Amino acid sequence: MSGTGGEMETRSPYASGPFDPAEDGAEMEFDGRMSYGDYLNLNRILTAQNPLSEAHDEMLFIIQHQTSELWMKLAIHELAAAKGRIAADDLQPAFKMLTRVSRIFEQLTGAWQVLRTMTPSEYTLFRGDLGQSSGFQSHQYRAIEFLAGNKNAAMMRPHAHVPRVHHWLDQIRRDTSIYDEAIRLLARSGLPIDEAHLARDISQPYERNDSVARAWLEVYRDPHRHWPLYDLAEKLVDFEDYFRRWRFNHVTTVERIIGFKRGTGGTSGVMYLRRMLEVVLFPELWEIRADM
């Protein structure tokens, strides 16, 4: 617009000076009212980081593992709910939940990139303060494995000193896994599954079965006829795909930081983690790809 004397008057598109959010309707007083920090219990969360050394990078190490445990808590919440939906033949919500679990593990995989900024010399400054603590002892990770069908009773022993946690894990181990429920759904849908396999001891680690492989192969050969089962199968494969990527990145991160030293929890470290990479959660869903 023109100013006096024919000069052009310009106005900055950027706001200048302080702005009071109350003028925009923002709530500013929280005496006796719920605030953001109250709802999220931030006081407890943000005071839970207590480094045992003076090492700068110990804070990174603690927050990396605490946030991973929070994401795993959500993964357990979603997997348990998806399992219940599959058991009730209510597949659409289960698909959404399984997709969310895959995205959770994508998030967890990306988090290793932050931990990798810590060098071996920096980790050495506080590693001794960890004592015998190790991610190997994560009861939530164990719960995720049990929910997916990788049930090893020996892995419960590190939790025997916390009866509440031990009992919770044992309940999950003795209940159906999400893959057990998928196989039962195959049978309810009219696909022939061996009765002995359906009646197996579900507290034991899952072992592949010919009738299950044949059933999934039929689903994949005629996806339009079996679309809900086909969609479920791909959601399970997607979950295991992201779960494998997370475990692989765990191995490479550990190798990058400590090499082939033994783990603080007593395992062989990288060699132990590499062995865990060989575990397949849903074997028939992977092997049928060669039979198509």
Residue ranges for the known binding site are 61-65, 123, 127, 250, 264
Could you give the 3-state DSSP secondary structure of residue 2?
A: strand
Q: Is 32 exposed, middle or buried (0-12, 13-18, 19+ CB in 10 A)?
A: exposed
CA 165 from centre of chain: 18
Residue 2 bridge partners (DSSP): 8
Distance CA 73, CA 103 (A): 14
Of the candidates 195, 185, 178, the residue with the CA atom closest to the CA atom of residue 216: 185
Residues flagged as binding site for heme: 250
For 149, left (φ over 0), alpha (ψ -120 to 50), or beta? left
Distance CA 182, CA 208 (A): 14
Longest Cα separation, the chain: 96
Distance CA 137, CA 139 (A): 6
CA dihedral 89, 209, 72, 163 (to 10 degrees): 100
Residues flagged as binding site for substrate: 61-65, 123, 127, 264
